[in-house]
Amino acid sequence: MASRLYRDAAIVLRTYRLGESDRIVVFLTENHGKVRAVAKGIRKTRSRFGGRLEPLSYVNVQLHRGSSLDVVSQVETIDASSAVYGDLDAMTEASAVLEAVDRLVPDQEPVPQTFRMLLGVRRTLIERPSPLVVPAFLWKLLAAEGVRPELDQCVGCGADESADHPFVAFDTVRGGVQCRSCRTGGTIGADALALLRDLLGGKLGAVLDAAHDPSGQRLGDPIVNEVADLATRSFEAHVEKRLRSLGIFERHDGA
């Protein structure tokens, strides 16, 4: 009989209370995908898990396969996340990142690429938190799902951008920029569009450097907010669309 114990590297996505003294911990593991497991006795004062299973914790975990939920048997910290806990903004950003992964990733389906992306964004959140980290991560998650917004041609008429044919809107459902005559989505400014192109072009590092450089041009909050809002709405549109297609699939399947 195969061993019911397994080990994996994991990042804690969230935890919730179970009964008097236990918690269910949702992990994104490196090789086993998203796993829900019970940490028994974790809410007792002298729990053997200590504070090692907080959201964003990066740990080596040993799990015991159960019939419905797995059970956490050992935890070793690989890298503590305490730097983030003192910083309210970084904590908010971390929550948004963890929630997005939790919503997007199905249970027990290995997603090593998403794990690596989460590990990377976790490092960025610890070392140089910024309001741009979450939108950049959401776009990366979407890109990994094969969803990439169209930024170079109007999604209505297919025309390129030019001085007398500027892109003025972004439609999250159609997934791209629009010119004035095709416009159905919300407004997007030229600066926000430029920032979005940088983020999607993999230039988050350079953008963060520029934002930290006192001599460089600082990114105004309205532009960052615009891009963040667009990322959130595009993410929501994608999750909704996927849930809908899943619903149709299940109906056919059950008939």
Which residues bind to Zn ion, rule: CB under 5 A? 154, 156-157, 179, 182
| Entry field: residues in the chain | 255
Q: How far is the CB of 87 from Zn ion (least distance, A)?
A: 43
Output the DSSP codes for 68-89: SSEEEEEEEEEE--HHHHT-HH
Q: Which residue has the tokens 């044919």?
A: 165
Comparing CB distances to Zn ion, the nearer of 161 and 198 is 161
Comparing CB distances to Zn ion, the nearer of 44 and 180 is 180
224, two tokens = 């960052």
Comparing CB distances to Zn ion, the nearer of 184 and 225 is 184
CA–CA dist 99, 117 (Å, integer): 14
Comparing CB distances to Zn ion, the nearer of 156 and 176 is 156
Q: 206 with 197: CB under 8 angstroms? A: no
Comparing CB distances to Zn ion, the nearer of 48 and 183 is 183
Q: How far is the CB of 181 from Zn ion (least distance, A)?
A: 6
Comparing CB distances to Zn ion, the nearer of 157 and 206 is 157
Residue 22, strand partner residues: 18
CA–CA dist 183, 167 (Å, integer): 9
Q: How far is the CB of 173 from Zn ion (least distance, A)?
A: 16
Q: Which residue has the tokens 């917004």?
A: 149
Q: How far is the CB of 162 from Zn ion (least distance, A)?
A: 11
Comparing CB distances to Zn ion, the nearer of 113 and 184 is 184
Residue 16, strand partner residues: 24
Q: 47 with 55: CB under 8 angstroms? A: no
Q: How far is the CB of 157 from Zn ion (least distance, A)?
A: 3
Residue 74, strand partner residues: 62
Q: Which residue has the tokens 């593991």?
A: 29
Q: How far is the CB of 153 from Zn ion (least distance, A)?
A: 8
CA–CA dist 136, 203 (Å, integer): 9
Q: How far is the CB of 166 from Zn ion (least distance, A)?
A: 10
Output the CA–CA distances (angstroms, integers) from residue 5 to 66, 70, 142, 197, in the order listed.
10, 10, 33, 45
